[in-house]
Chains A and B, each alone.
Chain A
Amino acid sequence: MRSARTLRRGLAVFGVLVGLWLVVPTLIVVPISFSGEDSFAFPPSSWSLRHYTTFFTESSWLTSLLVSLQLALIVTVVATVLGTMAAFALARTSFVGKGTVDGLFLAPLIVPGIVVAVAMYAAFLGWGLVGTPVGFVAAHSVLALPFVTVNVTAALAGFDRTLERAAAGLGASSFTTFRSVTFPLIRPGILAGALFAFVTSFDEVVVSLFIQSPNLQTLPVRMFNSVTNEVDPTIAAASTVVLVISTALLGLASISRRNRRHA
């Protein structure tokens, strides 16, 4: 019994250490972003908001933030609309070659990022899409689509279709049935998919690094270039902003998914 208690205590200490290893590196950027110095020293010897001032006023940082936000919004709309439509087809019909189509929708998740990046870069060079808004939207939409189809397909799988038949039986048109019965019930799944799509685009690094141009960089690309080429503590402020945005949205997505389960 005594050894069992020692084992449990040892495991508890181990759990705390692993927890620190997971949490500390994530949160350390927050105090550094409020430092008053021009270095990454920790703990900072003085505090200020100057890195945030630089982040929100210097054009290279501010532009990349705005590019990332706009891009993520467009990708969210494209991926959510196309992905939801596709989820209906995948969840409710069967046709020859459906297994291949199912696989196609999962492939961007399984193929390593570097492979996707090099393939897209080579093709986009030929098509004149490198460093263009269309190229970024296309690339990020491919990466975001699977998250929408996975979430909406799951919502449709738990959907009771007698409700639709009841609406139709009571004389509702197809569109009315969709708008007032189907859509409200699968909305949590669509919302979760949309949030995942936004974060996928907003956080994407590898493909964006390849298809960037000096005139068109997303925020993660700007951050990557900053770590490689310069010692600029503004990146700590950028990291904190990115952390807050993506963590808040993924939190919303997980709440939305939980609601779906209770529905």
Chain B
Amino acid sequence: MAVTSDTSAPPARTGAPGRVPPPRTSPRRVAVRGVALLAVPAVVVLVVFFVVPALRLLWLSVTSPEPGLGNYAALVTDDVAVTVVLRTLGMAAMVTVVCLLVAYPYAYLMSLVSGRWRGLLLAVVLIPFWTSLMARTFAWVVLLQDNGIVNRALDTVGLGPVRLLGTTAGVTLAMAQVMLPFMVLPVYTTLRGIDRRLVDAALSLGARPVVAFLRVYLPLSFPGVAAGATLVMVLSLGFYVTPSLVGSPQQSMLAQFIAVQVNQLVNFGGAGALAVALLVVTLVLVGGVQLLTRTKGSRRATGAGVAGGALV
């Protein structure tokens, strides 16, 4: 079905599409157009069930309950909305920092060890990609209970019991675990590409190890850190499942707030404005990091991370 060559055409022409532009009415041209048409059913599905609903929501955000930008103005004037937005930004930033502090040494360890160990470390960090989000979130609910394992462990070292379920600490612990791969993968990709002789050169010129790390190694790893931090930030801002189940309604994040607007208040206009704002922030951050990290390796890492995002 997808074969565009026809036996009568000279091989050179069929072999180099684009280099020798065929005449307008050639059979080959018709065949190419036929292949392009194969995308039509999928495009129709995406347009009808994805693009149209998205545009409808955008339309609702400026027309419901009344025409105008009232829903957007509420994002900066309504006390509850402002609190939720600020809390979400704070949580996302905290999860990003926790992920970075854990992922950087982990990725560094991955770049030090070789062969089998590296494979094992990679497999472990990919576990969140491999397992059902709902199952893992349920597991966190069990672990973080008042008499759960985490609390009993804290108790034995004399730190507990602490309330974790429904608190910021509990949500951070669970969310950071889900987000960690999105930080480790881009950071590791960048660290692997750093030429260690540059650090050796700094050391041989008399720099102390800390200085060599801070002035040579750390700046070189920046593209991976930027890519990972953006991904974790973006995914955390819109995260729904884990904060809903591990957190509390009183400390709700943006996605939960949007869900309440829709399900309990039937306020599609307000929910639409919140959703549009979240989408704009997401696109700006993703676009920005694509521009920042133009090197091939880190862009591939970003791509892989974005693709994995749908699993969250």
Contacts and interface: CB of A to CB of B under 8 A. Distances in A.
10 contacts: A11-B108, A24-B143, A88-B2, A112-B234, A115-B279, A119-B50, A139-B49, A165-B11, A177-B3, A250-B129
A76 interface: no
B112 interface: yes
A112 B279 contact: yes
Interface string B264-302: 000010011001001100110010000000000000000
A23 B139 CA distance: 11
Contact of B45 (A141, A174, A178, A202): A141
Contact of B145 (A40, A86, A175, A210): A40
Given A85-B38, A86-B39, A206 B240 contact: yes
Interface residues of B, number: 97
Interface stretch (B51-59, B69-77, B78-86, B222-230): B51-59
Contact of B139 (A25, A116, A146, A175): A25
A247 B310 CA distance: 16
A15 B310 contact: no
Contacts of B311: 200, 203
A110 B132 contact: no
B148 A42 contact: yes
B106 interface: yes
Contact of A120 (B53, B112, B133): B53
Contacts of A192: none
B216 to A, nearest CB: 17
B214 interface: no
Given A22-B180, A93-B32, A105 B7 contact: no
Interface in B126-141: 127-141
B129 to A, nearest CB: 7
A119 B142 contact: no
A171 to B, nearest CB: 7
Nearest to A126: B56
Nearest to B47: A104
Contacts of A123: 49, 52-53, 56-57
Contact of A15 (B43, B46, B109, B268): B109
Contact of A145 (B42, B106, B133, B271): B42
Contacts of A90: 39
A211 to B, nearest CB: 11
Contact of A165 (B5, B241, B255): B5
Nearest to A228: B245
Given A118-B57, A142-B49, A224-B245, A89 B7 contact: no
B112 A246 contact: no
Contacts of B255: 112-114
B91 interface: no
A146 B308 CA distance: 11
Contacts of A169: 5, 7, 11
Contact of B134 (A104, A109, A143, A239): A239
A54 to B, nearest CB: 16
A32 B148 CA distance: 12
Contacts of B171: none
B271 A203 contact: no
Nearest to B308: A109
Given A15-B109, A119-B54, A247-B130, A112 B46 contact: no
Contacts of B306: 106, 109-110
A109 B131 contact: no
A164 B109 contact: no
A47 interface: no
B310 A242 contact: no
B43 to A, nearest CB: 6
A62 interface: no
Nearest to B143: A25
B37 interface: yes
Contact of B136 (A26, A164, A167, A171): A26
Contacts of A164: 3, 5
A124 B149 CA distance: 42
A255 interface: no
Contact of A109 (B45, B147, B310): B310
A148 to B, nearest CB: 9
A107 B51 CA distance: 9
Contacts of B174: 25
A205 B131 CA distance: 13
B138 A227 contact: yes
A109 B307 CA distance: 6
Q: Which of B5, B37, B124, B142 has the most CB of A within 10 A?
A: B142
Contacts of B137: 227
Interface in A222-263: 223-224, 227-228, 235-236, 239-240, 242-243, 246-247, 250-251
B282 A88 contact: no
B125 interface: yes
B194 interface: no
B57 A28 contact: no
Interface in B5-23: 5-7, 11, 14-15, 18
A3 B275 CA distance: 51
A165 B174 CA distance: 53
B2 A171 contact: no
B6 A168 contact: yes
